[in-house]
Amino acid sequence: MYCQKCGTENPDDAKLCRACSWVLVSTAYAPRPDVKTSGLAITSLVLAILSPFACFFTALPAIIFGIIALVKISKSSGQLKGKGPAIAGITLPIIFLPIILALIFILWSFDADPIPEDYTIADLGSASPECALSYELLMSISEKGEKHPPDALLIGLSAQDVNLVYQVNNIIKENDYFGIVEAIKENAKGIYQAWENAKKGRDIIEELNTFPEIADLTEPDLEANIGFLRNIKLLAFLYQDYIYLQTENGSIQDAVTELIKLDSIFRKLSVNARSTVTKLVCYAGLNMDIRTANFIVNNPRTSNEALELLAEHFTLLTKEQVSLRNSVISEYLMFKKTLDTKISKDYSLPKTPFLKRNSMLRLYKNYCDNWINVIEQSQEPKKSELSVWPSIYPDWIVVSIDSEGKVPWIYTAYNPIGSILVRLFTPAMEKVLEIKTKLIVQDDLFQIVLNKRLGREISLKARAYSNEYTIDVEKKEIFSPGPDEEPQTDDDIKLLINPEALGLELE
């Protein structure tokens, strides 16, 4: 029975309304008041159901509308109904939210699949097995312990010899032809003494030259022992000083012979060099040898026989000799090993969804593969990039590392620690590629000078930075404008020339 005054439902045998105490007389047949469903309650329920699909933007309105609906229903004296939808509108978002967050966390925690057919050390170009002893010879001059020991006894040089070699080398780098000649003559006694003292090192150079290839078996590791590079550089500087001195003293045939021995080492090692550091040392050695050979070629006293020997040896550098493929793959293998040993074990970094190993390696491998294609100018079809996302994810955005080692923010959110590590370990390949290109250009310039001295046809067509190389007789140089493509700037690539020796004074 409904109260005719307030509409409250009462038991059929009630005499008084339990809500307003109205006397229920002859009300058994009283019509039920018109009761409406709260629109706010319905709205609350609809918003609650939509909240998981709307990133919970509708959750708060659903709760607010539900609370308001309950208050109005309780005050409506039975004129409004909809407590159930209102309560559901309040509770569903509260129930959905932790479930959805847990689901999101689980999906976010998934790592990508392991890389199929990943790079291994077997993918590195290497010398034939019979040349393995050449690597042992290199390691015999590999210094251990301090980075700057008081002397270089492994190659026979004293601390005084080392200082002299570096001092003369700095003079050669900064001076013109006449400045170089003066410095060489002033330090002749010290250079000859250092040359005699370095017999151990020179014997190793001689023995290395008996191998058709020089092996580099260095493990891709941050702590790899490449101490031999310091003594190789020292020997290269000493050879340079000695060759300049012999050239000025008229012993040009001996100078050419020693230069070819040294340059053969860099050409052979460069083919199989693994680490980027080793490759860059080879580039520096080849660069220095070209300049030294240029010094000999521009000496008017150099005989045709000596010139022919230089031309026979100093052919254009091959693709294999300047290739950076080994270096890029070594960088990847070193990154992978560092991640699995130093970071995960030595630093006791626990397994965490903040560091997704497989995804990070996929991203880094894509970067390395792209650089191999760019550097090697590969004509092979480009490999499809590995997805950095878990396989259960739909096809999503493509992620790549930019020139500064950065990745899109969405990937940083997915793999926070991995993104930091990628940025820390990404090599500056743009700079390495620039060094490689400069070496190739300088090699071109030397070929022009050498062929001009031999009376052969020359072409000034450039391979980079300009359409043609420039011969400036007045400034006594041949040059390329370099990366900025502007002549007479600091990044010019040039060789000094003697116009008289090259027969250019008549042009």
The pLDDT tens digits for 146-177 are: 454 445 678 888 889 999 999 988 888 776 77
Band the pLDDT of 27: cuts 50, 70, 90: very low
pTM: 0.81
Higher-pLDDT residue of 407 and 340 is 407
pLDDT given at position 193: 95
Quote the CA–CA distance of 142 and 233 in Å, as a whole number: 12
Band the pLDDT of 378: cuts 50, 70, 90: low
* pLDDT over 90 (residue 355): no
The pLDDT tens digits for 384-434 are: 789 999 988 887 788 888 877 789 999 999 999 888 888 888 888 889 999
* Radius of gyration of the chain from its Cα atoms, rounded to whole angstroms: 39
What is the pLDDT averaged over residues 23-27?
63
Terminal-residue alpha carbon distance, the chain: 124
User: How many H helices and E strands in the chain?
Assistant: 19, 5
- Bridge-partner residues for 81, per DSSP? 37
Phi first, then psi, for residue 262 (nearest 5°) are -65, -45
Higher-pLDDT residue of 364 and 181 is 364
* pLDDT over 80 (residue 80): no
Q: What is the DSSP letter of 52?
A: G
Do the Cβ atoms of 284 and 233 come closer than 8 Å? yes
pLDDT given at position 223: 83
pLDDT given at position 42: 83
pLDDT given at position 90: 80
Quote the CA–CA distance of 227 and 325 in Å, as a whole number: 22
503: CB partners within 8 A, 6+ apart:
452, 455
Q: Among 173-187, 195-209, 238-252, 272-286, where is mean pLDDT lowest?
A: 173-187
154 burial (CB, 10 Å; 0-12 / 13-18 / 19+) is buried
The pLDDT tens digits for 439-490 are: 999 999 999 999 999 999 999 999 999 999 999 998 889 999 999 989 888 8
* pLDDT over 70 (residue 346): no
Mean predicted lDDT score pLDDT of the chain: 86
Distances (CA, A) of 170 to 173, 237, 435: 5, 10, 20
pLDDT given at position 133: 94
Going edge to edge, which strands form the sheet with 470-472?
470-472, 477-480, 493-496
Band the pLDDT of 208: cuts 50, 70, 90: very high
* pLDDT over 80 (residue 139): yes
Band the pLDDT of 379: cuts 50, 70, 90: low
Quote the CA–CA distance of 442 and 474 in Å, as a whole number: 20
What is the pLDDT averaged over residues 331-353?
74
pLDDT given at position 97: 78
The pLDDT tens digits for 300-321 are: 999 999 999 999 999 999 999 9
Q: Among 57-71, 207-221, 246-260, where is mean pLDDT lowest?
A: 57-71
What is the pLDDT averaged over residues 334-357?
74
* pLDDT over 90 (residue 326): yes
Quote the CA–CA distance of 339 and 82 in Å, as a whole number: 59
Higher-pLDDT residue of 374 and 403 is 374
* pLDDT over 50 (residue 507): no
Do the Cβ atoms of 429 and 371 come closer than 8 Å? yes
Quote the CA–CA distance of 296 and 239 in Å, as a whole number: 14
Q: What is the DSSP letter of 317?
A: P
Strand, coil or helix: 493: strand
Higher-pLDDT residue of 172 and 259 is 259
pLDDT given at position 25: 63
* pLDDT over 50 (residue 349): yes
What is the pLDDT averaged over residues 378-389?
75
DSSP 231-253: HHHHHHHHHHHHHHHHHHTT-HH
Quote the CA–CA distance of 267 and 30 in Å, as a whole number: 110
Band the pLDDT of 293: cuts 50, 70, 90: very high
Do the Cβ atoms of 24 and 17 come closer than 8 Å? yes
What is the pLDDT averaged over residues 245-252?
92
Quote the CA–CA distance of 52 and 46 in Å, as a whole number: 11
pLDDT given at position 150: 45
